[in-house]
Structure 1
Amino acid sequence: MTLTAENTSHFVELPSGRMHYHEAGSGHPLILVHGSGAGASGWSNFSPNIEALAEHFHVFAVDVIGWGESDAVKDGEFVGPVQIIEFMDALGLDKAALVGNSMGGVISIAAAARHPERISHLITMGPGVFTNIPPLFTAGDGPTEGIKILLQAYLDPSVETMKKLVSIMAFDPAMASDAIATERARATLARPDHIGNALQGFKSGKLTGYQATPAEAAGITAPSLLIHGRDDRVVPYEHTLRLVATIPNSRAVLLNRCGHWAQLEHADEFNRLVVDFVTNN
């Protein structure tokens, strides 16, 4: 059976809110955690990966609280890694591998640092780390062009803006198709509560305020695979160089001709990397 967004869709009630997720496969649990962009969700960020990974693992692609079909954040508080542990508890998952893109990577790093007994493997793609320590997302002159267009997409979730967003997120301009831009715009406009919460989260700094400190990251015990696009215009790859120098049992993979969405632009290679890493570590 071909996997679709509809036939893999589920909901679960958590203390932090009602969470939507996609589920497929069997075996060791693998939780996919998406980024913070307008219109982002478990399916939009991982649709080329879910079926391939489900041939080897029990895959869960979550909609983070505040995105997709999940509940809005409560009182402007972004729960970050807490929701991952709540999700595992609700589904009876003692231990799982985490795969996080961008904000999802920040969430996954914090979960691995604070709940080492629950996280078997850590895999990240383009997370911004230690952003309270210079240099932030930039060489020193303000947010990157990717962060700027990400914010613009929340302020003006039109198809035209979404095409700009996708063109900056990806290295390959062909990814900025009308179909992808239209779906991103539709998904964003469908949840005005998510728009307001995300903008407030960026402004207040709470959106990723739960991130792990360097000391916490240095204590991560899970085998860690840190993937980054050489051409990432949202989060420079130096963030991953800093991270691989901090996490003791880690390795970094730098992909040329690759932007912020390694799992989408280089799906086949990404899937092979994840399967090999989780299977053999």
Structure 2
Amino acid sequence: MSLTKESAARDVVLSSGTHVRYYEAGDADAASVVLLHGSGPGATGWSNFSGNIGAIADAGFHVIAPDMPGWGDSDAVATKDMDHDKDLIELLDALGLERAALVGNSMGAHTAVRFATLHPERITHLVTMGASLGKGQASLFGPSGGPSEGLKVLVRAYKDASPENMKALVEIMTYDNARFATPELTEARSEAALARPDHLANYVEGLAHGAPIPIKVDREKIREIQTPALLIHGRDDRVLSYEVTLWLLANIPHSRAVLLNHCGHWAMIEHAEEFNRLVVDFLRHN
């Protein structure tokens, strides 16, 4: 599919009055897949999933990749007021989607897991990569207290979204820096972040309220998830330890995990072809 950011861009106003930008591809009558981006300055549905939207749509699915409120070209919102679960319900309703598969990276994975605990009737499949459970997640392999190396870099880039700090952010998010931390990408991410100073300011102000995860999942309810789940994580993730995915694997009954070597926090970018194959196969056969 020959897809561009401009041709895929759509806009919708939710029942709450919030404006949301989203990117769409595929047959609207096909099974729907919603791609949920992670946190970070310059993060959008397109910047996270430009290498996946067309491929998954070409496999026969209706693909939606929103800029969640507080990110990208969607409305600004204070972190303390964010509730991406509510936003996602309103988005599905606005688009006339009864059910959808949810594919989330990092913050988006957290949203997808929480959604599965609260609205099992609205989700067909759960796919996570680089999942976060919020504060207090135990870790044998990552830091056991305080933010990880990657989260420290992310916060620094929010406070100063310069090309230099954005380069450090892309480098910490990926394993193959030479391939992905290019001047073009870091400059584009910097420009995208600086274009929305309201998002940057809200994030920094919201650090005291739990950014970058606006609403915490109830971990006790995770054990009740009956949705088929595919859990993907990079072995070299310096933002969130792959032990989070091992914990989810142990606690979600109908789950399977894929741990990718030579992969950081952005599996869908660093290993796009394999990621697309994994997701499409999972959606078709589970």
Same fold (TM over 0.5): yes
Is 1:107 aligned to 2:111, yes or no? yes
CA distance in structure 1 between the partners assigned to 2:206 and 2:140 by the alignment: 17
Task: Check whether the contact 2:32–2:64 (CA below 8 A) recurs between aligned residues.
Answer: yes
Deviation at 1:130, TM superposition (A): 5.3
Q: In the TM superposition, what whole-angstrom CA distance separates every residue of 1:214-241 from its partner, at most 9, and x where no partner exists?
A: 2111111110000000000000100100
Closer/same/farther in 2, CA of residues 127 and 162 from structure 1, 3 Å limit: same
Unaligned stretches of 5+ in structure 1?
Answer: none
Partner of 1:235: 240
Q: In the TM superposition, what whole-angstrom CA distance separates every residue of 1:23-82 from its partner, at most 9, and x where no partner exists?
A: 000211000000001100000000010110111210001101000000011584111211
1:211 partner amino acid = K
Deviation at 1:97, TM superposition (A): 0.1
C-alpha RMSD of matched pairs (Å): 1.6
2:8 partner amino acid = T
Unaligned stretches of 5+ in structure 2?
Answer: none
Deviation at 1:131, TM superposition (A): 2.7
Matching residue within 140, 147, 150 for 2:151:
147
Closer/same/farther in 2, CA of residues 12 and 136 from structure 1, 3 Å limit: farther
Deviation at 1:208, TM superposition (A): 1.9
Deviation at 1:140, TM superposition (A): 2.6
Q: Write out aligned runs for 1:166-181 (5 A).
A: 166-173=170-177, 174-181=179-186
2:167 partner amino acid = K
Higher mean displacement: 13-22 or 259-268:
13-22
CA distance in structure 2 between the partners assigned to 1:241 and 1:37 by the alignment: 24
Partner of 2:88: 84
Partner of 2:39: 36
Matching residue within 202, 221, 225 for 2:207:
202
Task: Check whether the contact 2:23–2:64 (CA below 8 A) recurs between aligned residues.
Answer: yes
Partner of 1:24: 25
Matching residue within 215, 223, 228 for 1:223:
228
Closer/same/farther in 2, CA of residues 237 and 142 from structure 1, 3 Å limit: same
CA distance in structure 2 between the partners assigned to 1:35 and 1:87 by the alignment: 17
Task: Check whether the contact 2:33–2:62 (CA below 8 A) recurs between aligned residues.
Answer: yes
CA distance in structure 1 between the partners assigned to 2:156 and 2:141 by the alignment: 17
Is 1:47 aligned to 2:50, yes or no? yes
Partner of 2:277: 272
Task: Check whether the contact 1:53–1:59 (CA below 8 A) recurs between aligned residues.
Answer: yes
CA distance in structure 1 between the partners assigned to 2:139 and 2:106 by the alignment: 17
**Normalised TM-score (structure 1):** 0.96
Task: Check whether the contact 1:53–1:275 (CA below 8 A) recurs between aligned residues.
Answer: yes
Task: Check whether the contact 1:52–1:271 (CA below 8 A) recurs between aligned residues.
Answer: yes
Partner of 1:11: 11
Q: Helix, strand or coil for the counterpart of 1:117?
A: helix
2:238 partner amino acid = R
Q: Helix, strand or coil for the counterpart of 2:240?
A: coil
CA distance in structure 1 between the partners assigned to 2:194 and 2:272 by the alignment: 28
Q: Helix, strand or coil for the counterpart of 1:32?
A: strand
2:130 partner amino acid = G
Q: In the TM superposition, what whole-angstrom CA distance separates every residue of 1:119-171 from its partner, at most 9, and x where no partner exists?
A: 00000001111533544994235211100000010111111111110001000
1:146 partner amino acid = G
Deviation at 1:203, TM superposition (A): 2.4
Task: Check whether the contact 1:170–1:258 (CA below 8 A) recurs between aligned residues.
Answer: yes
Alignment coverage as a number of residue pairs? 281
Partner of 2:75: 71
Q: Write out aligned runs for 1:247-262 (5 A).
A: 247-262=252-267
Task: Check whether the contact 1:30–1:96 (CA below 8 A) recurs between aligned residues.
Answer: yes
1:19 partner amino acid = V
Deviation at 1:6, TM superposition (A): 0.2
